[in-house]
Amino acid sequence: MLHIAKNLVQLKSTLRSTHSIVFAPDLLAIENNTLASILNGVPALIVTTKSVNSLYGSKLRRYLAARTPTLDYRIFVLSCEESSKTIDNVLAICEQAAMFNLKRRSRIVAMGGGVCTDLCGFAAAIYCRGVSHIKIPTTLLGIVDAGIGIKNGVNVGSNKNKLGTFYPPEYSILDPSFINTLDNRQIRCGMAESIKIALVSDRELFEIIENDGVELINSRFVDPWASAEAVVRQSAIRMLEQLNKNLHEVNDYARAVDLGHTFSPYLESISQYTLPHGEAVAIDMGISVLIGRSLGLLREDTAGRILSLIRNLGLPLYYSAMDPVELWRSLDLIRAHRDGRLNLVVPTDIGTYAFVDDLSSIGLNGLMALVVELREQNGEFDRHRAMVP
Ligand SMILES: NC(=O)c1ccc[n+]([C@@H]2O[C@H](COP(=O)([O-])OP(=O)(O)OC[C@H]3O[C@@H](n4cnc5c(N)ncnc54)[C@H](O)[C@@H]3O)[C@@H](O)[C@H]2O)c1
Ligand SMILES: [Zn+2]
């Protein structure tokens, strides 16, 4: 809309977009129509990771040959570790797109974990000033989190996600069968994000994870299948419901999905990103649960129940390198990032939460005591971990 006044002309616009999230178990089975109908003959640069290519590359090529024999596509295999999440790799994808002569009405398809989908989302946002993209997350964390959001980002030095865009994919295609080749630690990390979303929004999901979580991890999301589907589906839907409240994060910086994401940046950074994100989220949830209990927001037995679930799934509650003084100080950075407010998310029951801004009644000494308590609780961790290889 154009508004013309004497000394000011304003152009107001909104960009409409539709992001479709499709559940498609066994996506690469020849008889599965989903991918062929979504690709629909539109030229595509498919970007995948080295490990995903070695596990699923030939199945993908067989599928494309059988189901979309005339499709103009190229597969680009890229190393996708956290250290690969750089602007150079975004440019490498753009370069491949240019060499492939990808036009504006073409697509970039990401088939990989969160690093791959973040790199591709960024490349799609800037190549030819924006081309469509599709995310096919292949990790549990990707399926329930990175692969269904509209944000992307790359790291600059030790600054995580310092550069990035809000750029919705046209499709996210979710297939739990990819989880089958993940190692157990990666599956547990994805489960941490599912626990997070269950804690802030879905008691039933929490109970499914409580009842079947260990079996799901051990069977790599095969058994019990109904629970595997429910965890994937419910986690994704609840996540989307939360994101939808403030999709471009312009309203405020208070987000329920930030449960587990206040202390975790400090933990990840002191580990120099060797502590997996999901494990940092689990420890952060443990701290937040104990803060909720200390503030009288969360019942003691419910706090115990949440900590037991985290531990039973083989996730940690404590990290030996964490220093409560630095942990306390790290909150200043979080406040700066959240426009001056802490917005610490603490569960108030299973499925409900509150934002906490003032930790003065707990203070550094209180935080130290909570960290000691978590260390003691974590003492049983190795025993539980042994149950989940
Ligand atoms: N954009 C967002 O909204 C958002 C949200 C959460 C996380 N993230 C980002 O996601 C990244 C973490 O993603 P991740 O946990 O998916 O890990 P990842 O992308 O780092 O992948 C880890 C490894 O697993 C391999 N892999 C992927 N799928 C596999 C499969 N099915 N079988 C075997 N190996 C497989 C990859 O090739 C890679 O080597 C972080 O960089 C994080 O910042 C982004
Ligand atoms: Zn996370």
pTM over 0.75: yes
**What does the block give as tokens for 259?**
């449960």
Query: If you average pLDDT over every residue of the chain, what do you get?
Result: 94
Distance 352 CA to ligand 2 centre (A): 18
Digit-coded pLDDT (tens) for 157-179: 888 899 999 999 999 999 999 99
Digit-coded pLDDT (tens) for 39-77: 999 999 999 999 999 999 999 999 999 999 999 999 999
The residue whose CB lies within 8 Å of the most ligand 1 atoms, and thus the one to mutate among 85, 139, 220, is 139
Does residue 115 have its Cβ closer than 6 Å to ligand 1? yes
Per-residue model confidence (pLDDT) at position 253? 81
The residue whose CB lies within 8 Å of the most ligand 1 atoms, and thus the one to mutate among 119, 141, 151, 315, is 141
Split at pLDDT 50, 70, 90, the class of 387 is very low
Does residue 188 have its Cβ closer than 6 Å to ligand 1? no
Digit-coded pLDDT (tens) for 296-352: 999 999 999 999 999 999 999 999 999 999 999 998 888 988 888 999 999 999 999
Q: Over pLDDT 90: what percentage of the chain?
A: 86
Per-residue model confidence (pLDDT) at position 250? 80
Question: Atom 9 (ligand 1): residue with closest C-alpha?
Answer: 114
Digit-coded pLDDT (tens) for 215-230: 999 999 999 999 999 9
| Residue 112 backbone phi and psi in degrees, to 5 | 175, -165
Q: Which ligand is nearest to the CA of 281?
A: 2
Whether residue 386 is predicted with pLDDT greater than 50 in this model: the reply is no
Per-residue model confidence (pLDDT) at position 245? 87
Distance 86 CA to ligand 1 centre (A): 14
Digit-coded pLDDT (tens) for 339-366: 889 999 999 999 999 999 999 999 999 9
**Alpha-carbon gap, residue 188 to 387, rounded angstroms:** 13
Digit-coded pLDDT (tens) for 101-123: 999 999 999 999 999 999 999 99
**Alpha-carbon gap, residue 109 to 88, rounded angstroms:** 18
Digit-coded pLDDT (tens) for 182-219: 999 999 999 999 999 999 999 999 999 999 999 999 99
Distance 221 CA to ligand 1 centre (A): 17
Per-residue model confidence (pLDDT) at position 381? 57
